[in-house]
Chain A
Amino acid sequence: MMSFSLWDIVRNLLIGGALTLLLSLVAFVLGGATGLLVLLARIGKWRAPRALAQMHIELFQGTPLLLQLFTLFFGLSLFGLDVPAWLAAGLGLTLFTSAFLAEIWRGCVEAVPRGQWEASSCLAMTYWEQMRHVILPQAMRMSIAPTVGFAVQVVKGTAVTSIIGFAELTKTGSMIANATYQPFLVYSLVALGYFILCYPLSHYAKSLERKLHAAR
């Protein structure tokens, strides 16, 4: 029987951890960009994009991430599209993130007092001028803390992609646990890995919240 040193385990987990980090970053950046488009459609004046955005949000908020990934991974291959695990994972998390961020940000846009709309209307600004110069800058400031807070959810959400075989931290952990017969040790290390990624984020979110609230 092969034996594994602790370093063997940790080394492999570090590689998985790096992929988790990469996947989180991709999901967050692309999801953020998509989320911004969904947001603009959702709060805009045109009816069709608004309905589409609403559907997008309800679909991805109303179904488990796991099933979204299954649908992408297995569903698309039914149509002859060979979707590699990394692509399904990246795409799935991006869509999931975009729906939640769009909704978080919509809350922030709607929290900007009505007087700001009225004052900028009186100055003859158009809708987009108001958005660009008055509403979004204020909404953005409010959104920083909840957005960073949601980033924690994205990092933890990446664990689900292990089910479709993407070798991020959790998948790597389960493979090592099977090989070493030391599930408690390995999964504890895996959990520690997530904690190391998430703790600074949630700490940062909290301090941002304090700072931005104090400034109001």
Chain B
Amino acid sequence: MPLVSTNRLHKFFGKNHVLRGIKLDVEEGEVVTIVGRSGSGKSTLLRTLNGLESIDDGIIEVDGAKLEVDCADAASLRALRLKVGMVFQQFNLFPHLSAGQNVMLAPQVVKGAAKNETEDIARRMLERVGLSEKFDAFPDQLSGGQQQRVAIARALAMSPKVLLCDEITSALDPELVNEVLGVVRQLASEGMTLIMVTHEMRFAREVSDKLVFMHEGKIHESGDPQAMFAKPETPEFASFIGSLN
């Protein structure tokens, strides 16, 4: 039984059919990278997995939490989001809260945990991303890379079953990319289930168990990243890799 599974997933933006029947299974501990040209639907697919985008048909199931078209009520959305963490391209830290408070907020508010308990969690999570000394710093006092690591800590503090990473290094200066990728690599090695959209192909090849190539709203080709890069099966994927170099 896969940890994350979607079936017959369809999504329209107006008349634009962006997801055309996605079937994706992700096993526990698996690292899956979704690649594709812009407009292929990869970010949309990621965002449907925690209900940030509604779906027009199909089913999403994460560790028993189900989301279907006709029963996407607040309770099932919440149940899903408790299992799925997300990190964004633009970090989206809460600017009025310190790094520590950013991490503490959701466990406190959503799970109703006591303050000393959440502070404990926050310190552990910030340590995990190598920022234990930045507990009291505000987002605008941190570099982009540090902000993104706080955002990862914030997502981890809710102990999600799977973490979605939406182009999390795309807004970073080149010299800051590696510190964030380092954290992701470490999470992968610790057995965290990850689904990411990224343009860092070398990184994707290195850490992914499975590569998913999206083309025109469909999963066009998927499999072992080494094998796919060595011998693309479809001309579209071949031309996609070709355009990277």
Contact = CB atoms under 8 A, between A and B. Distances in A.
A46 to B, nearest CB: 14
Nearest to B51: A121
Nearest to B96: A137
Interface in B93-120: 93-96, 105-106, 109-110
Interface string A109-130: 0000101101111111110010
B154 interface: yes
Contacts of A138: 94-96
Interface centre among B52, B82, B95, B155 (most CB of A within 10 A): B95
A214 to B, nearest CB: 11
Interface in B70-111: 74, 78, 81-82, 84-86, 88, 90, 92-96, 105-106, 109-110
Interface string A176-189: 00000000000000
A116 B82 CA distance: 18
Interface residues of B, number: 26
A141 B81 CA distance: 29
> Looking at A116, A119, A121, A133, which has the most chain B CB atoms within 10 Å of its CB?
A119
A123 B82 CA distance: 7
B78 A124 contact: yes
Interface in A77-121: 113, 115-116, 118-121
A125 B106 contact: yes
A121 B51 CA distance: 9
Nearest to B111: A124
Contacts of A137: 96
A113 B94 CA distance: 10
State the majority secondary structure of interface residues on A.
helix
A126 B92 CA distance: 17
B110 A121 contact: no
A119 B81 contact: no
A121 B81 contact: yes
A98 to B, nearest CB: 26
B92 A129 contact: no
Given A121-B52, A122-B155, A124-B81, A115 B110 contact: no
B158 interface: yes
B88 A123 contact: no
Contacts of B154: 123
Given A115-B88, A118-B88, A123 B96 contact: no
Interface of A: 113, 115-116, 118-126, 129, 133-134, 137-138, 141, 215
> Which 5 A/B pairs are nearest by Cβ-Cβ distance?
A123-B106, A119-B92, A115-B92, A124-B81, A122-B86
30 contacts: A115-B92, A116-B92, A116-B94, A118-B88, A118-B92, A119-B88, A119-B92, A119-B93, A120-B94, A121-B51, A121-B52, A122-B50, A122-B86, A122-B155, A123-B81, A123-B105, A123-B106, A124-B78, A124-B82, A124-B110, A125-B106, A125-B110, A126-B74, A129-B109, A129-B110, A133-B109, A138-B94, A138-B96, A141-B96, A215-B140
